[in-house]
Amino acid sequence: MSRSKTFRQRGVALITAMFVVALATIAAVAMFEGSNVAVRRASNMVESEAALWYAFGVESWTKGILKQDAKNNDIDSLGDIWARPVDFLPIDNGSLRGRVEDLQGRFNLNNLATTDPNQLKIYLLQFQLLLDAIGGEDAAKATGIGAAIRDWVDADSERLDLNGAEDNEYQGLDPPYRAANRPMQSVSELLQVRGVTKGLYAALKPYVAALPTVGTRINVNTAPPQVLAALSKTVDRSALAKFVESRIGSPAKTAQEVLNGGANSFLGADNNLKPETQIDVRSRYFGLTAEVFIGSGRVALYSVYIRPEGGSDPVVIAHATDAD
């Protein structure tokens, strides 16, 4: 065998050997990376599961807080123990934070499902005044949205007026859908109502709720100024600002205190809106937002409670989660 032929064979063998080693190295790296991914995935699942259990623990703990508060107080206000947010609480390998809000400090969108025509007029006017109080370009362009919401939550398929919207308006969209014709389950349903833009939804979200009871009243001790300003066309803005500033330490003991002539008066008489029939100082519905951070992950829990009359245990009537 010639020397040149021998060199060629050795060269081929060397290249083949290098190729086999390269393949083995690639396979080993792939297996190692796959193992790391599997380990990390398992770790993430464990962390997410732990975070979710912590969140449900906060949900259960909040029930006790709401029950104890009902025993201790005849009214609900921003000075109560449930109203104190937890901004940072260390836990194993992470932290959590949470806050409880009085959902009766917001305008209940499902009030627009009332079958009482006189009450409907009040709620439609309240909603429009709320838009005026919120201000901004999106709210200013939202004239007539109350009628569209009414048609979304009522039981019939008849438009309230020219601003309303039923199946015919929604079936012409891409993709088409129908009006719910039932009370809203979540405020996020607003995004499906004709005329509600993302900007308007963002502007309204802090001031509205979707509560299962039609006819809920506004708690004057917890409602934002914008919601309180929508209770009457004869609001004393200066007196309202003074009440909002002082109510944490000195909440209204009765709803009558904020009416014309009361100790914390800022609502004047209004024969159309009848604010005396729309206000309270006691609440039944509350919302929890709990966020748990473990490792590099985050789990959030959003729960809605009803606190029955008579001292019964608060009940979670809805909750949802999301995770990052």
Confidence at residue 312, expressed as pLDDT on a 0 to 100 scale: 86
Question: What DSSP assignment string belongs to 21-77?
Answer: HHHHHHHHHHHHHHHHHHHHHHHHHHHHHHHHHHHHHHHHHHHHHHHHHHHH-SS--
Indicate if the pLDDT at residue 310 is higher than 90: no
Indicate if the pLDDT at residue 287 is higher than 60: yes
What mean pLDDT is predicted for residues 302-314?
92
Confidence at residue 3, expressed as pLDDT on a 0 to 100 scale: 55
Nearest alpha carbon to residue 273 among 129, 142, 160, 111: 129
- Joined together, the tokens standing for residue 141 give 């362009």
Q: What is the pLDDT of residues 160-216, one digit of tens each?
A: 999 999 999 999 999 999 999 999 999 999 999 999 999 999 999 999 999 999 999
Indicate if the pLDDT at residue 19 is higher than 80: no
Q: What is the pLDDT of residues 146-156, one digit of tens each?
A: 999 999 999 99
Give pTM, 2 decimals: 0.86
Confidence class of residue 323 from pLDDT cuts 50, 70 and 90?
confident
Q: Which fold has domain 106-211?
A: Ribonucleotide Reductase Protein R1; domain 1 (1.10.40)
Range of lowest pLDDT (1-5, 65-69, 110-114):
1-5
Burial classification of residue 300, based on how many CB atoms lie within 10 Å of its CB (0-12 exposed, 13-18 middle, 19 or more buried)? middle
> Domain spans of the chain?
3-103+285-323, 106-211
Nearest alpha carbon to residue 113 among 161, 160, 151: 151
Confidence at residue 180, expressed as pLDDT on a 0 to 100 scale: 97
Q: Which fold has domain 3-103+285-323?
A: Pantoate--beta-alanine Ligase; Chain: A,domain 2 (3.30.1300)
Q: Is 296 helix (H, G, I), strand (E, B) or coil?
A: coil
Would you say the CATH fold of 106-211 matches that of 3-103+285-323? no
Q: What is the pLDDT of residues 25-55, one digit of tens each?
A: 555 555 555 555 444 555 566 788 889 999 9
Nearest alpha carbon to residue 279 among 218, 207, 208: 218
Angle, helices 117-134 vs 145-153, to 10°: value is 130
Indicate if the pLDDT at residue 16 is higher than 80: no
Confidence at residue 309, expressed as pLDDT on a 0 to 100 scale: 87
What mean pLDDT is predicted for residues 255-281?
95
Q: What is the pLDDT of residues 116-139, one digit of tens each?
A: 999 999 999 999 999 999 999 999
Task: Report strand pairing: 208-209 vs 107-108.
Answer: parallel
